[in-house]
């Protein structure tokens, strides 16, 4: 039976055994002991996948490939072979750009990118447009910091080839209406790539129900290890992709006259893979499956809402927070965020400060940067109180100096 106990959940994370207030999970979540143990065990025993034929290597390969099926089940992909391993969300997006879209682009073609996007879902498209003569079209947010589907329709033209949109903003926690967005884009014959890096841990994802062309995320946002990412491609899009890197393990035959590629997804995974990362991800998905994630998410958002209510009482604060989300960004009038951060840091509160790799969104919000607190299911009310105390004290010290 799946269950969730805030205290029991928190206890599984060794990084929190000391009094540590970690509020930077939107950047990287902490790892539970089971994931740490799984990765450690791999390095203790060793072995390689898809290369050697001794028993240990065969067993390791089976476990490595079984993780594809785990990911497929997590996002309801039709087949495990539609899951490609990458180094992270950034590489997944670049793979879509170079392997799928680049051969289809002509000068004057258009790529729509929402104003919410992390740089990882903007820079690859800007670089591709520069290379091919295509154009990146901005889909602006509304005055409420949201994406309006009605505003998308005029941007979709016969030259539009792709729409790039996030599942959840890493600045405000806002979640776009993906089903409606994808439906609108597909009516115009436009493919959609969804950056699920923030959203995967906070909401169920069904790529078939969404009819997503491409969906991607990273293990390190899902209580897993760093350096391992996932790219899901719909079967027709996968058939159109061509490898852009060459190396070992991706071919069935090669000589000086040419080569024959492996089938997907293996033809997109040249070289020695991040086996430890996949093993760690497998353990993280086992961990995920054992938890009532609806209850865990409700707890996480409850903490964030409690923090919002308390922070909102401070004079001059401006909050950027989508209701029902785990992310809170904020600034104070006439105070520099980095000055606040320097003081908050003295209270042992782990926050993020800056532009959060979302400069266009910062410009749209009218700020140069923000402080960001991002909650996870291992946080507690004590973390909220420590955050509020630290921010209040820092604010008072800075305003007293004035």
**Domains identified in the chain and CATH numbers:** 6-30+292-399 (3.90.1150.10), 36-289 (3.40.640.10)
Write the pLDDT tens digit of every residue in 99-153: 999 999 999 999 999 999 999 999 999 999 999 999 999 999 999 999 999 999 9
* pLDDT, position 402: 52
* Residue 271 Ramachandran class (φ > 0 left, ψ -120 to 50 alpha, else beta): left
Q: How far apart are CA 109 and CA 180, in angstroms?
A: 23
Q: List all residues 6 or more positions away from 107 whose beta carbon is below 8 Å from its beta carbon.
A: 132, 133, 134
- What pLDDT score was predicted for residue 401? 56
Please give the sequence-ordered ranges of beta strands (E in DSSP) within 95-168, or none if there are none: 110-114, 135-139, 160-166
Distance CA(167)–CA(181), nearest Å, equals 11
* Full-model pTM: 0.96
Q: What is the phi-psi region of residue 183: left when phi exceeds 0, alpha when psi lies from -120 to 50, beta otherwise?
A: alpha
What is residue 56's predicted lDDT score, i.e. its pLDDT?
75
Nearest CA among 182, 156, 157 for reference residue 167: 182
**pLDDT at position 54:** 72
The beta-strand segments (E) located in 191-334 are 191-195, 214-218, 229-233, 251-255, 258-261, 317-320, 327-332
Q: Are the CB atoms for 300 and 201 separated by under 8 Å?
A: no
Q: How far is the C-alpha of 60 from the C-alpha of 42, rounded, in Å?
A: 9
- Amino acid 58: pLDDT: 84
Residues with active-site annotation: 357
Q: Is the distance from CB of 181 to CB of 147 less than 8 angstroms?
A: yes
Low-confidence ranges of the chain (pLDDT < 50): none
Cβ–Cβ < 8 Å for 226, 34: no
pLDDT for residue 49: 86
């Amino acid at each position: 039976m799946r269950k969730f106990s805030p205290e029991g959940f928190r206890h599984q994370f060794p990084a929190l055994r000391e009094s540590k207030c970690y509020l930077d999970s939107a950047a990287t979540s902490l790892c539970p002991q089971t994931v740490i143990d799984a990765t450690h065990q791999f390095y203790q025993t060793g072995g390689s996948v898809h290369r050697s034929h001794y028993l240990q290597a065969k067993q390791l390969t089976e476990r490595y490939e079984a993780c594809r099926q785990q990911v497929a089940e997590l996002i309801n992909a039709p087949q495990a072979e539609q899951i490609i391993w990458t180094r992270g969300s950034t590489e997944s997006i670049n793979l879509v750009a170079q392997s799928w879209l680049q051969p289809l682009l002509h000068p004057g073609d258009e790529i729509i990118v929402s104003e919410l996007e992390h740089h990882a879902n903007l820079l690859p498209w800007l670089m591709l447009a520069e290379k091919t003569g295509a154009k990146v079209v901005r889909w602006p947010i509304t005055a409420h910091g949201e994406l309006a589907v009605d505003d998308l329709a005029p941007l979709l033209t016969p030259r539009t080839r792709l729409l790039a949109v996030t599942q959840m903003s890493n600045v405000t926690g806002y979640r776009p209406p993906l089903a409606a967005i994808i439906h609108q884009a597909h009516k115009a014959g436009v493919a959609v790539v969804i950056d699920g890096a923030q959203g995967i841990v906070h909401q169920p994802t069904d790529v078939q129900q969404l009819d997503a062309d491409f969906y991607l995320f990273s293990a390190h946002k899902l209580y897993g290890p760093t350096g391992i990412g996932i790219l899901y491609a719909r079967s027709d899009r996968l058939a159109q992709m061509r490898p852009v890197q060459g190396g070992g393990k991706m071919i069935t035959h090669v000589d000086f006259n040419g080569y024959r590629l492996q089938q997907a997804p293996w033809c997109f995974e040249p070289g020695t893979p991040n086996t430890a990362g996949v093993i760690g991800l497998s353990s993280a998905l086992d961990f995920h499956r054992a938890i009532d994630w609806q209850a865990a998410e409700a707890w996480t958002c409850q903490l964030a809402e409690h923090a919002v209510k308390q922070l909102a009482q401070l004079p001059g604060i401006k909050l950027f927070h989508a209701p029902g989300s785990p992310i809170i960004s904020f600034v104070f009038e006439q105070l520099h965020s980095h000055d606040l951060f320097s003081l908050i840091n003295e209270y042992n509160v782990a926050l993020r400060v800056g532009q959060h790799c979302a400069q266009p969104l910062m410009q749209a919000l009218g700020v140069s940067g923000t402080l960001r607190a991002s909650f996870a299911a291992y946080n507690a009310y004590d973390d909220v109180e420590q955050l509020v105390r630290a921010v209040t004290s820092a604010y008072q010290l800075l305003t007293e100096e004035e």
